[in-house]
Chain A
Amino acid sequence: MSVFYDHLINLEDLHQELLEFKLAVGEHYQLLQLADSALHHEVVGVCLDCLPTEHHEHFLVKFKDQPNDPGLLVFLKERDPEIENKIRAKSTEVKDRIRKDLRQVKAKHS
């Protein structure tokens, strides 16, 4: 199931990074889900930043019911035209942090 900002965050590079550890499929996707969860929390924070507080509940409920609804991004863009760039920048920042730690673990165990 995709979310409305999937095209702005790209999990493929983390997926490739984790593949190098040659983990079991279940372990691999469990770790990928943790990274995904970290990204969700950071990106939702960015989304809420651009919305007035009174709209936060409405946004969260809509996001829970239809996480892949493109209307959510339209709704956010009405409030902040730069929201896409902000989401992109935040996801890059989080992924860089994660990738850095993954490489440290890899160096430690190789």
Chain B
Amino acid sequence: MSLFGLFPKKENSYETLNQVLTSHENVAKQNLHDKHPHVKPLLEKHGVDLAKIRHQGAKVATTATILGALLAFPHLIHAPTHHPTNPNQGTFQTKVLSDSNTKPINNVAPSSNTHNQAPNQVASTADTTIQNSLTPPAKHNDNDEDDSNEHGHQGHQHGRSELAPPKEHGLHDLGYHEGEKRNPDKVSAPGPHPEKTAEHGEGES
């Protein structure tokens, strides 16, 4: 059984109505351009589409409203605040922004849970890159600093961008754990083979 016969009346009436009204629209356009032939270039010049004049007007009004609201209430776009929970980071970012005399590009307010927001910040690559050009990489703890200084890594490291804030303490990716320094000398040498240990034990006894 064909599905085309399920709603024949509705589909046909819409198609017919569409054709009828489109022809009315075309006639109206033709009348306008016949009566005022100089209007067509003017409409093209200024990008005026009379068919969408309501939408164009709505766009302008909406844009103006949003811009006005953002100017009036800058905290809506998370503008830098003067009360950062992490005093070091907040002071540094505010200082850099005021020194460079530029509009804040990445307006994420510094907070103590920055480490937990890593996935969101990695997603906004452009913002991070731009912010990185304005500010040096943020120091999160001594372990991170030691790690980057030792190896001088650039770009991606172990599948994560160095530009992205570290995870909980920045060493999970490297197989280390919190409080543990990355120091090769600290790694204990493998012990003697169990068989040798057993032989040695037997010889002694």
- Residues of A bordering B, CB below 8 Å: 1-3, 18, 21-23, 27, 30-31, 33-42, 44-45, 48-49, 53, 56-57, 60-61, 63-68, 94, 97-98, 101-102, 105-106, 108-109
Contact = CB atoms under 8 A, between A and B. Distances in A.
Given A1-B55, A34-B18, A21 B25 contact: no
Contacts of A109: 9, 12-13, 16
B118 interface: no
B21 A31 contact: yes
Nearest to B20: A101
B48 A42 contact: no
B175 interface: no
A39 B51 CA distance: 9
A106 B18 CA distance: 13
Given A38-B28, A42-B28, A48 B39 contact: yes
B39 A56 contact: yes
B156 interface: no
A-B interface, 4 closest residue pairs, ranked by CB to CB distance from nearest = A41-B28, A34-B21, A37-B51, A1-B58
A68 B64 CA distance: 15
B42 A56 contact: yes
Contacts of B66: none
Interface of A: prevailing SS: helix
Nearest to A21: B13
A13 to B, nearest CB: 15
Contacts of B10: 21-23
A56 B181 CA distance: 76
A30 B22 CA distance: 11
Contact of B54 (A3, A66, A108): A3
A66 to B, nearest CB: 7
B51 A45 contact: no
Given A1-B55, A105-B16, A60 B21 contact: no
Contact of B28 (A1, A48, A65, A94): A94
B32 interface: yes
B28 A49 contact: no
A45 B38 CA distance: 12
Interface in B6-65: 9-10, 12-14, 16-18, 20-22, 24-25, 27-29, 31-32, 35-36, 38-39, 42-43, 46-48, 50-51, 53-58, 60-61
